[in-house]
Amino acid sequence: MKTDGSAGRPAPFDDLDRRLIHALQIDGRAPFSRIAEVLGVSDQTVARRYTRHRGSGAFRVLGLAEPRALGEVEWLVRVECAPDAALPIAEALARRPDTSWVSLMSGGTEIAVVCRSASSEHSDALVLQKLPRTPSVVGVAAHCLLHEFYGGPQSMISKSGALTAEEAARLSPPAPRPPSPEPATPPPPSTSFERGDPYEQGPVVLSDADRRLFEALGRDGRAPIAELAAATGWSPTTVRRRLEALRADGVLYYDVDYDLRLFGYGVMVALWLSVAPAELAAAGAALAEHPEVAFAGATTGAHNLFASVLCRDTSALYTYLTTRIAALPGVRTMESAPRIRHLKGPGPYAALGPAAPRSRR
C-alpha cells in the first residue's frame, strides 16, 4: 500500500479514489462493473481500489436506516466529565447500539454523542436516567434534533465535485416512491412493514428479520447476498427484493465512513449557533450549502442551530468563521468545540487501530 513517507501513513486519496468514494456514497451496493463504466476504468481497477482501501480501514461502506422514517427521535448530547473518566465513558457510549457520532471534544473533558430513541416517550432512558447517574459525569446537555438541513445520505463528498452531475445521475437510484395506501392484504409478517411518509402515515415498522438485515448492513453495506440471507433467514431472492423495497421507500441509505485525513481535512469543529427564530430556516438552508459543512440541523435549546464543520487547518477555520458564518442571517451568538478524538461514526462501534476510519461529520 502506498504511504506518504510520514510515519508510514497511507498516501492521500487520489482523484480516482475520490471518484470511487463518491460513487459508493450514491449507491453503496452498485456493481463494480457499473461504477467502472461511469468512472471510465476497468472492473478490476475498481475492485482492487475498493479491496485495498477497505482492508486498510481507509473507508467502509455502511447500509443504514433513516431514523425519521422509523419515527425515532435523535438527541445531540454533550457530556461533561472528569478528565480521567472521559475516554472510558466515551468508549462505553460508543458500544451502545442507540448511539452514533461519539467524539471527545475540546480539552478532552467533553463528549459529543448522538443518541436515538424509539419515540419521544422513550427519550429519557439514556439522557435523563443513566448518564447523570454515571460516576465522574459532571453535567449533561441534550438538544433534540428538530430538522435536518444537511446530512444522512448527503456528505462532504457529495459537495466535492469528484463526479460530474451527469456521472452522479447515472449512479443514482430512483427517487423514493411517494406514500401509498396500505394494501388490503398485507405482506407476510417476515417481510412486512408500514410504508409511507413518517409524518403523514406513521413510522415504518421493521420486522425482526429487517433488523437483522440492518445489523449486517451496518457492519458491511456491501455484504454478499448469501451472508444477508443467512442473517435474516430469507432466500437470496427475498433479500434482493427487500433491499430494493427499503431503498425505494427511503428507509435504507448507504454511507461511506472514511479517514478524513486522507481527504486533506485536519480540523473538525462542532458549531453551536443561536439564531433569531425568524431567520432559523434561512440560516440553516444557507449553512447546508457551505462546502465546509458536513452536517447541519435545527435543535432545541438556546443554541438552536448546530453544524459539524471540516477545514484543512486552523487558518482555514478562522477564515470560514469570519466570512461565511459571519454572513449568516440572524446569528446572535456562536460556540465552537474542536474534536480531538473520534470514536464512532454512523455505524456500529469498530475498535480498530490507528488506520480505522475517521468519519467526516
pLDDT digits 0-9 by tens, 172-229:
877 666 555 444 444 443 333 333 344 455 788 999 999 999 999 999 999 999 999 9
Query: Which is higher by pLDDT, 108 or 87?
Result: 87
Longest Cα pair distance anywhere in the chain, in angstroms? 64
Q: In the structure, how many helices (H) and strands (E) does the chain have?
A: 11, 10
Long-range contacts of 230-234 (CB under 8 A, 24+ apart): 233/190, 233/209, 234/190, 234/191, 234/209
pLDDT digits 0-9 by tens, 124-158:
555 556 666 677 888 889 999 999 999 988 888 88
Q: E strands along 220-266, which residues? A: 252-258
Are the C-beta atoms of residues 273 and 306 closer than 8 Å to each other? yes
Residue entry with cell 456528505: 155
pLDDT digits 0-9 by tens, 253-275:
999 998 888 888 999 999 999 99
Q: Among residues 230, 233, 244, which one has the least CA distance to residue 209?
A: 233
What does the alpha-carbon distance between residue 351 and residue 216 come to, in Å, rounded to a whole number?
17
* b/e burial code for range 244-257 (CB count within 10 A of at least 16 → b): ebbbebbbbbbbbb
What pLDDT shows up at residue 127?
A: 59
Are the C-beta atoms of residues 292 and 249 closer than 8 Å to each other? no
